[in-house]
Amino acid sequence: MNSEEQSIIDFMRQSPDAAYTRREIARKAVRRTEYEQNRNWADQPLAALVARGSVETDEGGLYHLAGRRDY
């Protein structure tokens, strides 16, 4: 797991039962300056986390940690 993937997981673990949009993850999982330099930085790490099964998406396109029961 690279540092970007770890940043996403750490952010999502703050509220493990919540679901997030891709944009919200991109904005809040890193420092503001990093987000402003590349607003799409989270696309590839999220895709890798979903492929690995660490993160899941629901029918509405929201992301959440794998194993969440109330989606």
Q: What is the pLDDT of residue 71?
A: 44
What is 34-47 written as a DSSP string?
Answer: HHHH-TTTTHHHHH
d(CA 51, CA 35): 23
Q: What is the pLDDT of residue 67?
A: 84
In the chain, domain spans: 3-65
- CATH fold of 3-65 reads Arc Repressor Mutant, subunit A (1.10.10)
Q: What angle is formed at CA 66 by the lines to CA 1 and CA 40, rounded to 5 degrees?
A: 55
Amino acid in position 66: A
Q: What is the pLDDT of residue 1?
A: 87
Using an 8 Å Cβ cutoff, are 28 and 21 in contact?
Answer: no
pTM beyond 0.85, yes or no: yes
Q: What is the pLDDT of residue 68?
A: 65
Count of beta carbons in the 10 Å neighbourhood of residue 56: 16
Q: Which residues of the chain have pLDDT under 50?
A: 71
pLDDT digits (tens, 9 = 90+) for 37-52: 999 999 999 999 999 9
